[in-house]
């Protein structure tokens, strides 16, 4: 693996125009990854889902060099019924950036490497991403500007993909009192690839980010996504994760609530069938006074599926008046389904209100009986209950347009 990594790294550097400074950073990250490799079950953070095992069993001839050839763009893939700005990645290469709904002097797109957003030594996959990502983009939203339309980031893989591993890196810089809505939408036509995505968000005072991640298309890829947030005073980060399609995906969200009155929300849905293994890992770090966090994760698990939720609330000793809440619920529909949770609290301040709950079990037979006694058949009753169970999470979405879009995608009825 090491030899392959080194040659592919060299090809990546040669084919792009990185400065000497950047190359040094990238080399460091590469060595860090070579040292630690893909995380396995022995790593506490990967206890429930073993990516090392998954990659070994699914992907043979893992190679990393992405030739970055231009791809054809098929406009049919665009999401209907919602006017939106676009960034389109095809096989890890940006094919199109389209911000036609916005005022051009209110935002900037930079492609200069920026040390400030460096995320080294978070974990080995982020290091791998830093080392091998071919292009770096940063989207900067200027002060007092709210994006008029949401930004949809299309992550498309096709069967013409030239490497087994693609690394995508985007940074978002929201200046004070700005607002941005993002939908992360993936369409996978390739098979058995490892997709590694890192986003880094930094929010100034009063800024708002709404981050919706939709993994809906059935595919046989292994995916890892790491989103990092740094929040200043009174800023808000809203996250929604819809985890349906990939055969293996882990979404990781790390929020640093640095400023007073800042808040973070993470809501997630797993609705799985057919041998899928999904995980959401969150760590919300309350680092200042009067910060707030709320997390709600629900799973519906079918045949041979596995979902895991690792959520951590950390409260620093000066972060008094913290309000942290976390709830994870799961319905197991099959005897071969497995739900794992590790809701963790690490608290060093006394004047806080932190709680978590976790519940898992089967569908409530009493409720099914009640509905059937009203004339529905078993399957309808089951569907109705699951519908209601998941709708609860979707209703937490604060943007109405996007909420309706997600309801349509999921086929949820009100």
Partner 1 sequence: MRDKQIENLKEYKYGFSTDIDSIKAPKGLNENVIKFISNIKKEPKWLLEWRLKAYQRLKVLKEPDWQKPKYPKIDYQDLYYYSAPKSFKDKPKSLDELDPKLLETYKKLGIPLQEQKRLNGIAVDAVFDSVSVATTFKDTLTKQGIIFCSISEAIQKYPDLVKKYLGSVIPITDHYFATLNSAVFTDGSFVYIPPGVRCPMELSTYFRINASDTGQFERTLIIADRGSYVSYLEGCTAPMRDENQLHAANVELVALDDAEIKYSTVQNWYPGDKDGKGGIYNFVTKRGLCQGKNSKISWTQVETGSAITWKYPSCILKGDNSIGEFYSIAITNNHQKADTGTKMIHIGENTKSKIISKGISAGYSDMTYRGLVDISKNAKNSSNYTQCDSLLMGNKCGAHTVPYIKNKNSDSNIAHEATTSKISEDQLHYCQQRGLNSEDAVGLIVNGFCKEVLQQLPMEFAVEAQKLVGISLEGSVG
List residues binding partner 1 (CB under 8 A): 44, 317-318, 320, 330, 332-362
**Least distance in angstroms from the C-beta of 312 to partner 1:** 9
Q: Which is nearer to partner 1, 338 or 399 (CB)?
A: 338
Distance CA 107, CA 406 (A): 27
The minimum distance between CB 196 and partner 1, in angstroms, equals 27
Backbone Cα Rg of the chain: 21
The 3-class SS string of 40-81 reads CCCCHHHCCCCHHHHHHHHCCCCCCCCCCCCCCCCHHHCCCC
Q: At closest approach, how far in Å is the CB of 99 from partner 1? A: 44
**Nearer of residues 7 and 355 to partner 1, judged by Cβ:** 355
Cβ of residue 365: shortest distance to partner 1, in angstroms?
10
DSSP string, 259-282: STT-EEEEEEEEEE-SS-EEEEEE
Q: Please say which residue, 57 or 365, places its beta carbon nearer to partner 1.
A: 365
* Whether the Cβ atoms of residue 308 and residue 337 lie closer than 8 Å to each other: no
CB of 368 to partner 1, least distance (A): 14
Closer to partner 1 by Cβ: residue 49 or 207:
49
**Nearest residue (CB) to partner 1, 14 versus 350:** 350
Minimal CA–CA distance to 188: which of 160, 212, 169? 160
Nearer to partner 1, 102 or 323 (CB): 323
CA atoms within 13 A on the CB side of 271: 21
Q: Please enumerate in sequence order all residues whose Cβ is within 8 A of that of 101, keeping only pairs 6 or more positions apart, or say none.
A: 83, 84, 85, 147, 148, 149
CB of 349 to partner 1, least distance (A): 5
- Contact status, residue 250 vs residue 224, Cβ threshold 8 Å: yes
């Amino acid at each position: 693996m090491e030899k392959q990594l080194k040659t592919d790294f060299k090809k990546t550097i040669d084919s792009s125009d990185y400065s000497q400074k950047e190359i040094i950073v990238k080399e460091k990250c590469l060595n860090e990854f070579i040292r630690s490799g893909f995380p396995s079950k022995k790593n506490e953070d990967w206890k429930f889902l073993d990516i090392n095992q998954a990659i070994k069993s699914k992907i043979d001839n893992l190679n990393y060099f992405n030739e970055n050839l231009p791809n054809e763009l098929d406009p049919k893939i665009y999401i209907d019924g919602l006017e939106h700005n676009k960034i389109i990645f095809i096989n890890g290469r940006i094919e199109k950036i389209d911000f036609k709904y916005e005022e051009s002097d209110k935002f900037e797109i930079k492609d200069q490497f920026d040390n400030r957003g460096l995320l080294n030594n978070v974990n080995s996959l982020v290091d791998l991403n830093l080392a091998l990502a071919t292009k770096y983009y940063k989207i900067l939203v200027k002060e007092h500007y709210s994006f008029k339309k949401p930004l949809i980031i299309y992550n498309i893989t096709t069967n013409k993909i030239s490497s087994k591993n693609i690394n995508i890196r985007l940074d978002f810089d929201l200046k004070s009192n700005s607002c941005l809505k993002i939908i992360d939408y993936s369409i996978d036509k390739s098979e058995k690839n490892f997709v590694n995505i890192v986003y880094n968000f930094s929010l100034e005072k009063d800024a708002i980010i709404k981050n919706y991640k939709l993994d809906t298309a059935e595919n046989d890829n292994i995916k890892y996504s790491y989103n990092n947030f740094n929040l200043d005073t009174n800023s808000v980060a809203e996250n929604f994760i819809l985890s349906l399609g990939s055969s293996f995906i882990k979404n990781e969200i790390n929020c640093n609530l640095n400023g007073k009155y800042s808040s973070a929300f993470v809501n997630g849905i797993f609705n799985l069938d057919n041998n899928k293994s999904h995980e959401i890992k969150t760590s919300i770090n309350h680092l200042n006074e009067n910060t707030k966090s709320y997390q709600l994760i629900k799973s519906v698990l079918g045949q041979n599926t596995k979902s895991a939720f690792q959520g951590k609330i950390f409260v620093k000793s000066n972060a008094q008046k913290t309000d942290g809440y976390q709830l994870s619920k799961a319905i197991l529909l099959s005897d071969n389904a497995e739900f794992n949770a590790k809701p963790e609290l690490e608290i060093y301040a006394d004047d806080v209100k932190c709680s978590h709950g976790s519940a898992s079990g089967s569908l409530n037979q009493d409720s099914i009986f009640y509905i059937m006694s009203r004339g529905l058949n078993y399957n309808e009753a089951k569907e109705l209950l699951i519908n209601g169970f998941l709708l609860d999470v979707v209703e937490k979405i604060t943007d109405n347009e996007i909420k309706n879009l997600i309801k349509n995608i999921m086929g949820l009825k009100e």
